[in-house]
Amino acid sequence: MLQIDLWKRVLIWGVVALGLVLALPNAFYTRVEVHNDAMAAIELGADTPENQEKSAAWPTFLPSRLVNLGLDLRGGAHLLAEVKVADVYQTRLESFWPEVRDALRPERATVGTIRLQPSPPDELRVRISQPEGMTRAVELVRGLARPVVTLTGAGATDLDVRADGSDIVVTLSEAEKAATDERTMRQSLEIIRRRIDEVGTREPTIQRQGFDRILIQVPGIGSAAELKEIIGTTAQLTFQPVVGRAADAGAPAGAGNEVLPSLDEEGVFYILEQAPVVTGEDLVDAQPSFDQNGRPAVNFRFNPSGGRKFGDYTAENIGNPFAIVLDDEVISAPVIQSHIPGGSGIITGNFTVEESTNLAILLRAGALPAGLEFLEERTIGPELGQDSIDAGKVATLVAFVAVLVYMALSYGLFGLFANVALILNIALLFGMLSLIGATLTLPGIAGIVLTVGMAVDANVLVFERIREELKTAKGPARAIELGYEKALSAIVDANITTFITATILFVMGSGPVRGFAITLGLGILTSVFTAIFVTRLLIVIWFERRRPKTIEV
């Protein structure tokens, strides 16, 4: 018998209604987007009358999730950056010098005096005055090595230590270099993501490409230069002991020291110890504020480890200047007046309010572990994105109308049922894209157009089977029932293979390929649902009302 249980009918219409409600915000895209932006601003504390008015542009009881538009549709900036992973080797070795010095200092009777020597960026060279004590010195420095915590580096240590005449040469082991490279890339990805999130952009694409490259695409941003300004600022914050002042950048600094310019005082340079006491990696919070004179400043707070080191140093060096260095420039070098416990402090300088806010954002987002070299940069204007949207709309509309006309002419009333299901299919597809927060790109629109073409395939199979059953003189109800039963396996097989292909594209692909795979995969799910369940329900409802003796398909 051609019948569908009541609970199945309720379930089918319930799914359709839910899909339509979820897709509804996309029909009022600009209004909902203004509402969402205002709500996000209010949640961040900007509860102004203007934002309240904008948030009222869309009823709060309705869903407000939208299909995000990708870079090629909204316009924005595209960057391909290479991370200079080797920079981290030098930083690691420079920070290792105080440990080497402290380890050798108790053995001066054996190794003599200890001097840091100028050395290439990838090694640390320390000279002892009594070469006969080299064996003991190497043994002590090797004792500072730590195991490398990775699967590939199991059993290896992080340092290679060897003797070269009267010099101890320390380099990073190959296992440690590999582990450092991996950590640097992961940290760079995370910090870039946090910096972009801080400025409130929508749905950025931040992906690792190859060994040391990162792809960054941010829709809605003005230009590639603006994007570079957001993510390219290194924001390396260090707190370094001051050795002295100098009048030019070429002043002799001595081994283990460096000369850095003052940010505020033109022509003033500071000689600083290269090994910092605390770095920005120990920073857990930074907020814009004002100093005691009412000038913009930045409050900061260290984690327990950084706070302890900062407190110990200030306790032991009261009366000495202490430099706060940002990106190789001395922001300020205040004299330590007293012990500063608790791990918090304030950075002052000739900041504007905007500069102190930006500095707080950069510090809060963390410092990039290594520099970035931008290999490729493109700005995609919103006009080009609008052209893509218009072209996509035309393509979808033409495909849609062509399919509707073909189905109506080929299958008559049953073709109209299939057309209704096709319209519901597109609505359900947008509802699902909105629900999962997917990003729609130009290839994604191609996936929708392909879905429109494929969505009626299942109905064509069913209708052709019904035609065959009618030729065997079966009644209309029986022919419809057998048509759906016999076509089901072919429909499922065909769509499963396509769905597997879409899944592989999604897992293995990236960027535009994923966008295509998402719309294709979801389109298969919605089209199978509408073709098997919705059209059948429409036909059953029509059949129950009209009770035709014959049907034409």
Residue 43 reports pLDDT greater than 60: yes
Q: Is 336 helix (H, G, I), strand (E, B) or coil?
A: coil
Q: Which two tokens stand for residue 446?
A: 């191609």
Residue 495 reports pLDDT greater than 80: yes
What is the helix (H) or strand (E) element at residue 162, kind and residue range? strand 159-164
Residue 512 reports pLDDT greater than 90: no
Question: Which residue bears the tokens 């109905």?
Answer: 459
Overall pTM surpassing 0.75 (yes/no): no
**Digit-coded pLDDT (tens) for 75-133:** 788 889 998 888 888 877 877 787 888 888 888 888 888 888 888 888 888 898 888 88
CA 538 distance to own-chain centroid = 44
Report residue 150's pLDDT band, with 50, 70 and 90 as the boundaries. Answer: low
The DSSP result for 414-453, as a single string, is HHHHHHHHHHHHHHHHHHHHHHHTPEE-HHHHHHHHHHHH
Q: Is 166 helix (H, G, I), strand (E, B) or coil?
A: coil
CB atoms inside a 10 Å sphere around CB 190? 13
pLDDT, residue 526, reads: 92
pLDDT, residue 473, reads: 66
pLDDT, residue 477, reads: 87
How large is the average pLDDT for residues 406-420? 90
d(CA 64, CA 38): 12
**Length of the chain counted residue by residue:** 553
Instruction: Note whether 379 and 224 are within 8 A (CB).
Output: yes
Q: Which residue has the higher pLDDT, 291 or 138?
A: 138
pLDDT, residue 531, reads: 87
**Digit-coded pLDDT (tens) for 344-395:** 777 776 777 767 776 676 666 666 778 888 898 888 776 666 777 788 778 8
Longest Cα pair distance anywhere in the chain, in angstroms?
112
**Digit-coded pLDDT (tens) for 161-181:** 888 888 999 998 888 888 888
Report residue 19's pLDDT band, with 50, 70 and 90 as the boundaries. Answer: very high
d(CA 461, CA 467): 10
Please, what is the average pLDDT of the chain?
Answer: 83
**Digit-coded pLDDT (tens) for 173-211:** 888 888 888 888 887 888 888 777 766 656 678 888 888
d(CA 459, CA 539): 12
**Digit-coded pLDDT (tens) for 215-240:** 888 887 777 888 887 776 656 778 88
Q: Please report, rounded to a whole number, the percentage of residues in the chain having pLDDT higher than 70.
A: 92
Residue 44 reports pLDDT greater than 70: no
**Digit-coded pLDDT (tens) for 383-399:** 666 777 788 778 878 88
The b-or-e profile of 416-446 (16+ CB within 10 A means b, else e) is: ebbbebbebbbbbbbbbbbbeebbbbbbbbb
Q: Which two tokens stand for residue 421?
A: 């299901």
pLDDT, residue 478, reads: 87
d(CA 472, CA 476): 11
Residue 453 reports pLDDT greater than 80: no
Instruction: Note whether 295 and 351 are within 8 A (CB).
Output: yes
pLDDT, residue 47, reads: 76
